A and B are shown apart, each in its own frame.
Chain A
Amino acid sequence: MSETPRSYGHPGITDPVDERPSATGSFRIPSDLTKQVDPDLSNQQIDLAKELAEAGIDDVFTILDQELIGLIPVKTRIREIASLLLVEHLRRKLGLSGDAPTLHMSFTGNPGTGKTTVALRMAEILHRLGFVRKGHLVSVTRDDLVGQYIGHTAPKTKEILKKAMGGVLFIDEAYYLYRPENERDYGQEAIEILLQVMENQRGDLVVILAGYAERMEKFFASNPGFRSRIAHHIDFPDYDHGELLAIGELILAKQNYKLSEAARDALARYIVARKTQPHFANARSIRNALDRARLRQANRLVRGAGRSKITGEDLTIIDAADLLASRVFGREAAMQSSLSEETESNFD
């Protein structure tokens, strides 16, 4: 060590400083929660109801119940997870548990069954209970994780993981990450990085994988590392007719529309007919159908503009004709339609 030239730098502090990295992988517990274990646990009085109210998860459940129709098994499962988290939270307060629980999940179900919406709520629940620090949801697919050439994948995957830190990473159609037919596929690299971060930084982010049930099953079978790192497998059932009708009405109500009596019958019939056709995507199909019904309603109003005055109420009402014009009801109905065939570019 040479003598310090006094003219440069700050010579005052020379104490050796401990620079060893602290346990960055472990979950950071707010300092007020790190209490010593009470020797007599039976003395501890715990007001669960109060804790529940404090965490504010009841609000999330209320929203969940209002916004999501049906999905009873999913809601039950989420309540169970929330209870587990709450108890874990309390145990941690008493210094009873050390390690952060594994919270990675897999959501399986057909398209349009509400996986993304539930993931969003899940992020909020985890945030309110203090299991993720920020509670944002980063929703990605294979394209966002896997690169196009050698050396492109790792930075890309890491970029996304960094973005999701402190929140929830939602990987839609996760099975596309693994393509067994192409052994040079870069998906495997993304999977390895994901697994590593899922294991080492459990406290920093929660990963939710989503996709169709059978293909997810295959994906897990070929990537056993994923299955063992995922604690909660939640299956999303398809909606029945009544639920789909209720969803349709909820979507319209949010946009300040309503169905006339005849239109409600038409929608019920539409749902029955649409369900038998290919590419049925549950709530998403209903939303698309209603979007097109709005288009027809607008068209109907504009064409009728010269003949009669309309009221504000007319602007909010979807009529049976707007729905019956759909191609789903077959050729004849389409012929009577006010819209030409071309505007109905796809099946929904």
Chain B
Amino acid sequence: MRVTQGCFSFLPDLTDDQIRAQVQYCIDSGWAVNIEFTDDPHPRNTYWEMWSLPMFDIQDAAAVMMELADCRKVYGGLYIRISGFDSTAGWESVKLSFIVNRPQEEPGFHLARQEASGRNLRYTTHPYATDLPEGQRYNGHSANSSNNSQ
């Protein structure tokens, strides 16, 4: 299944030119742009790994596109998102975040039922991808692909 989250989740994946335009919007609004990646698609997984440092004092989206290209070279098989962080006092929060890269195959989620006290049932979602250890998910499309090419 196609995992969606953040802004533009109802749209088809953005092209590079569209990403560039969104990033330029972030920069022009004075937000720091961050690139993050993960191989855990669970919707509650909010803490993604960061690619390099937040980009605070850049003027042009080309800089972010350069970092994104570098990140894709290494983690092209994982989820990558871009977020714009507004550091203005009182806000200090992420104002925009969208997915810019996803694995070729997304195995989706399993609905797990747990029988609780009485006749209660508890439901939870469990991503099939996380059945494998970190670094081996998504057909080893990650950085360590050479270690787990079997």
Contacts and interface: CB of A to CB of B under 8 A. Distances in A.
A3 interface: yes
Contacts of B101: 19
Contacts of A166: 59-63
Nearest to B107: A2
B125 interface: yes
A50 to B, nearest CB: 29
Given A19-B13, A165-B58, A201-B66, A8 B128 contact: no
A21 B67 CA distance: 13
Given A2-B107, A9-B3, A165 B63 contact: yes
A121 interface: no
A158 B55 CA distance: 11
Band of interface residues on B: 35 or more
B65 interface: yes
A264 B55 CA distance: 51
Interface string A163-182: 10111000000000000000
Interface in B37-80: 43, 52-53, 55, 57-67, 69, 72
Contacts of A151: none
A152 interface: no
Given A1-B108, A2-B110, A136 B59 contact: yes
The 9 closest A-B pairs by CB, nearest first: A166-B60, A162-B63, A204-B62, A17-B13, A165-B63, A2-B108, A4-B1, A165-B62, A165-B60
Interface of A: 1-5, 8-15, 17-19, 21-22, 24, 28, 133-134, 136, 155, 158-159, 161-163, 165-167, 197, 201, 204-205
23 contacts: A1-B106, A2-B109, A2-B110, A5-B109, A5-B111, A5-B125, A8-B43, A13-B11, A14-B2, A15-B12, A18-B15, A28-B17, A133-B62, A155-B53, A161-B63, A163-B59, A165-B59, A165-B61, A165-B62, A165-B66, A167-B59, A197-B66, A201-B66
